[in-house]
Amino acid sequence: MSDTQQLWNDYAACWSADPADRPAALAAVAVDEVAYRDPGTEVGSLTELAAYMAGFTGAFPGHRFRIDEVLEHHDRSLARWTQLDPQGGTASTGISTARHHQDGRLSDITGFFLPA
């Protein structure tokens, strides 16, 4: 598994992490001033992203993300993902892109939800 694949796996785990563990887990994979956007939001810091993730957990209890494929080049990557329900079924799918900081962590993330 590539370092970038592992980074995306660790990032995906942040979405369903225990709220007490989420800030440290997120700081390990993204810079403090991380920019994040998807069709429903746009945030500009780890604190704001952690709060958005907490809202996701409240709206989709027991759901988690699986990273299905990662492509990468020139400090950018693309991850194809599946949102899994508590029984392991597919709730949704999407693609996220990211620019990476010089230290490898995510610095600018954009998520896209694919049509059902």
Give me 41's structure tokens.
């939001």
Give me 28's structure tokens.
């390990």
Domain count along the chain: 1
Tell me the per-residue pLDDT of 82-106, one tens digit each, with 9 for 90 and over.
999 999 999 999 999 999 999 999 9
Which CATH number do you get for residue 71?
3.10.450.50
Q: Which domain holds residue 7?
A: 3-113
Q: Has this prediction a pTM greater than 0.75?
A: yes
Q: What is the pLDDT confidence band of residue 116, given thresholds at 50, 70 and 90?
A: confident
Tell me the per-residue pLDDT of 44-72, one tens digit each, with 9 for 90 and over.
999 999 999 999 999 999 999 999 999 99
State which H helix or E strand residue 17 sits in: none
Go through 29-64 and write b for each residue having 16 or more CB atoms within 10 A of its CB, e for each that does not.
bbbeebbbeeeeeebeebeebbebbeebbeebeebb
